[in-house]
Structure 1
């Protein structure tokens, strides 16, 4: 008895042909795109410590999330989750949805982005430019559930970046962000970074970098900088202390693209060597500092990363270490004209500006450490060189 009847074989062959053509389109798009730049920025007062930005804003959709969206589409296609005409649905604070709308249009698939109502209008416009539809919800905690519902009703597929980001990316190679960073650093004075600093939206970037460094036998450590309103730091700190993670949801993050109300499945704590909690005022002051130093606008998540860089740099200098630090320039500031680059927004949010700017300027010049930042590590505190603690589970 045949395994399949002829109509089933025909349907299977048609689906395989469509999937193969879809993957070729995505790979061809990748081949048309150059790699992103690595930009040096000197820190006054830190001789022998070199800082670099991996500029992910130069992707076709303008952010780090372009890599993730490509990986998520390839993962869904390889798993047989996407078909011709499938409605693609994603829960996002904006940037991933912009990138997924780009790839959905590339494959001729309808796309729906489920986002908090507070998402920047610039991101909404970018999603719609790529042919996507925006479905806004009031509570950020509801975006995953609402996405799953919409996908079921449409007979489509919920991409679910917060679950699949860490496993969709090929962390061993395939020009992931880690491989790209280490390749571009090869001719620098300190080619193997002492630290790579990133922030967590899904946790996919920290997982990719941490896994790649271990896989290649490299001593590079990963610091994850978490914004003021986010659950990742508390989750990590509890595990580092041998305690159960908190279950209460954190408030919605004001730093778009990073921070989550709960620690998502894609956040792999064992891939992170240390974490630091960053007040929003300092994230945005560091954003403005980078804007002035590089002569271009960057987003708030880049500012969060820079606060992490400063924490690491002060620790290295205190121990007399030299070396390099690489961080991520996540996206451009053009998407935040209505918020981070609008004085009225700061007044409405009650975020102090002048004092925070002064703190970042002093920290970047090396004249004063950042006040109140308490790094937490699963190895004691490698930033401050404290005795090691037991490793937390992955």
Structure 2
């Protein structure tokens, strides 16, 4: 009896080409894993906070590309490689306001691939320069909502792959472990006075980080609660309160990296125990106070997190509770030297950070928070 061979999944491509592509994918995965092995885990910093609640910052600015998005970019590349979406000549296109693009440019260069970031023209010059430093290109749109369609169009035009962080962020990371950010936090907390955090506070840009944290908490049957720190203009906190709300018509937030005008596919509101809307001025104040108190330069999204942490900790203190709260130092304030960290730019923006800064300074000194 003669056995017929199974049909090729790529009947239009020679077997030799397929084997070469598989060999390239094998090498690409190994290259990314080797980079991971060279990168030590990020530090968990305990903040100098008075009172009975301990506050920690997971310092994601120490990744090779300087932000929390390094983890996401690595996961997205591995996900796309193992799905067979990327080959040795595939241009990579991404819709990003900055930090994800910086990290994806880094990994694209590791693999010898062309990378193009589609981003709003308002993105900080420092982030644009970092994308170029890592060999990436930038393609600007005038309005933030245009990045999605333009990325898809550009990918089709160039026969490239649209990475689409907003869709794939929540599924590209192994939320059960594999040294993801949640597992790292719990491992580093193991010897602390309150090893299981009462709360973890995080922002959402794609929703991938909150999805990983929330799922890990449930998978390990932890009692930790997850708080979303969200810019006031963002839709995410509104969607948590009312699932029917999926878009925001408010003018966009100036805090890059978190908050969106539309509810992204990767955002899962069921994982959020509390959502706190944070004014832009409060986020900027939080970044300035966190920088002074931690001795680290902090970006705007870290300030958003700190302002939400202060409210969470105040609620705990008011109930006489002790425990620990963990949040993220997402990236360095050096990325915003021409905007958020520039006193002249801040004065021109009309945002008054003084009352928020005073309240947060008192929060560190007393462990209590009020405006």
Settle same-fold status: TM greater than 0.5.
yes
Secondary structure at the aligned position of 1:328 is classed as strand
1:229–1:254 contact (8 Å) kept in structure 2:
no
Partner residue of 1:148?
A: 152
CA distance in 2, matches of 1:117, 1:6: 41
Partner residue of 2:225?
A: 221
Does residue 179 (structure 1) correspond to residue 183 (structure 2)? The answer is yes
Secondary structure at the aligned position of 1:191 is classed as coil
Following superposition, the deviation at residue 146 of structure 1 comes to 0.6
Following superposition, the deviation at residue 366 of structure 1 comes to 4.1
| RMSD (Å) for aligned C-alpha atoms | 1.5
Following superposition, the deviation at residue 122 of structure 1 comes to 0.6
**What are the ranges of 5 or more consecutive residues in structure 1 without an aligned counterpart?**
372-394
1:230–1:253 contact (8 Å) kept in structure 2:
yes
Secondary structure at the aligned position of 1:277 is classed as strand
Of residues 120, 124, 127, the one that matches 1:120 is 124
Following superposition, the deviation at residue 365 of structure 1 comes to 3.6
Following superposition, the deviation at residue 124 of structure 1 comes to 0.4
Partner residue of 2:59?
A: 55
1:43–1:365 contact (8 Å) kept in structure 2:
yes
Does residue 18 (structure 1) correspond to residue 14 (structure 2)? The answer is no
Q: TM-score, normalised by structure 1?
A: 0.90
1:230–1:260 contact (8 Å) kept in structure 2:
yes
Partner residue of 1:262?
A: 262
Partner residue of 1:292?
A: 292
Partner residue of 1:323?
A: 323
Following superposition, the deviation at residue 248 of structure 1 comes to 4.4
Q: TM-score, normalised by structure 2?
A: 0.95
CA distance in 2, matches of 1:354, 1:194: 30
Deviates more, 1:352-361 or 1:180-189: 352-361
Q: Cα–Cα, structure 1 residues 55 and 367, in superposed 2: closer, same or farther, change >3 Å? A: closer
1:63–1:95 contact (8 Å) kept in structure 2:
yes
Q: Cα–Cα, structure 1 residues 341 and 158, in superposed 2: closer, same or farther, change >3 Å? A: same
Q: Cα–Cα, structure 1 residues 6 and 330, in superposed 2: closer, same or farther, change >3 Å? A: closer
| CA deviations over 1:108-160 (Å, ceiling 9, x no partner) | 00000011111111100000011100111110011111111110100000000
Partner residue of 1:230?
A: 234
2:246–2:263 contact (8 Å) kept in structure 1:
no
1:225–1:277 contact (8 Å) kept in structure 2:
yes
Secondary structure at the aligned position of 2:14 is classed as helix
Does residue 276 (structure 1) correspond to residue 276 (structure 2)? The answer is yes
CA distance in 2, matches of 1:301, 1:307: 10
CA distance in 2, matches of 1:88, 1:80: 13
| CA deviations over 1:342-388 (Å, ceiling 9, x no partner) | 112112221013222223223444486444xxxxxxxxxxxxxxxxx
CA distance in 2, matches of 1:353, 1:105: 39
Deviates more, 1:146-155 or 1:246-255: 246-255
Does residue 159 (structure 1) correspond to residue 163 (structure 2)? The answer is yes
Partner residue of 2:83?
A: 79
